[in-house]
Amino acid sequence: MVFQRVWDCSCPLLWDKWEANGIVWTIEDLPPQDDERAVRLLIEQFCPDERLISTLGMHEDPDALQKMGDFWRDCLSQRMSLACYKTVDNNRSLAAFNVCVVKCVDDKDTNDTITGNGKFDDLFKTLTYLDGKYDAFKDLGVDKFLYGLGLLVTRENRGHKLGAKVLAARLPMCQKFGLTATSTLFTGNASQKLAAQCGFRTDLEVTLGELAENGLPYPKGDERSIKIMSKKYF
């Protein structure tokens, strides 16, 4: 059964708050009214930089981007995504966010869904390949965990260590909802380094060259790697 959080009058919940140099920062649930803003930022700022998406050329394919947007909208509808807001002189803006869902062991596998867009389908064939190499449920010893599907600090707000703050906010969220672990596919060098600094362990590392050797359209011999990384809380 797919996890679905109840969104009621108590939401959004506040997970962290701090002030620095006249700026008030908060980490909260991403509310429904900001879903489209988040999807737009993912398409405009995340996709051109993300290792798999950019290597497959999805960031230059309008149909693939539309399908990615629909995929992210579906993820956001679970209402488990985290958002960092910046408030200056009563002006509030979305500074960073992490698309998150709860993956359950009995969820229907959607990685092998065929959409007809070759680039989008290749991305999900990549995820299917990774699933065949690593079973997070078995390794973490859980039947559900918090899974991240896109961590973005907007370009104008980088340099404030917001990525680490958002990753840290997974802990109180997991405590609230009875989750004991979190896992994410970190694809870039900076995000992998950040995750390690935040206490995530590497569970699986695969190079793009290995993906190419297994029939996926990545550059042969490419030593850039992607890592499934996790953290257990309790």
Q: What is the pLDDT of residue 3?
A: 87
Quick check: 10 pLDDT over 60?
yes
Neighbours of 195 (CB within 10 A): 23
User: Per-residue pLDDT tens for 210-223?
Assistant: 999 999 999 999 99
Q: What mean pLDDT do residues 2-30 have?
A: 95
Q: What is the pLDDT of residue 4?
A: 86
Quick check: 37 pLDDT over 80?
yes
Instruction: Take residue 5 and report the two structure tokens written for it.
Output: 């959080």
**Reported pTM:** 0.94
Q: Parse the chain into domains and list their residue ranges.
A: 14-185
Confidence band of 86 (pLDDT split at 50, 70, 90): very high
Neighbours of 78 (CB within 10 A): 16
User: Per-residue pLDDT tens for 141-187?
Assistant: 999 999 999 999 999 999 999 999 999 999 999 999 999 999 999 99
SS3 147: strand
**Average pLDDT over the chain, rounded to whole?**
95
Confidence band of 112 (pLDDT split at 50, 70, 90): low
The CATH number of the structural domain formed by 14-185 is 3.40.630.30
SS3 118: helix
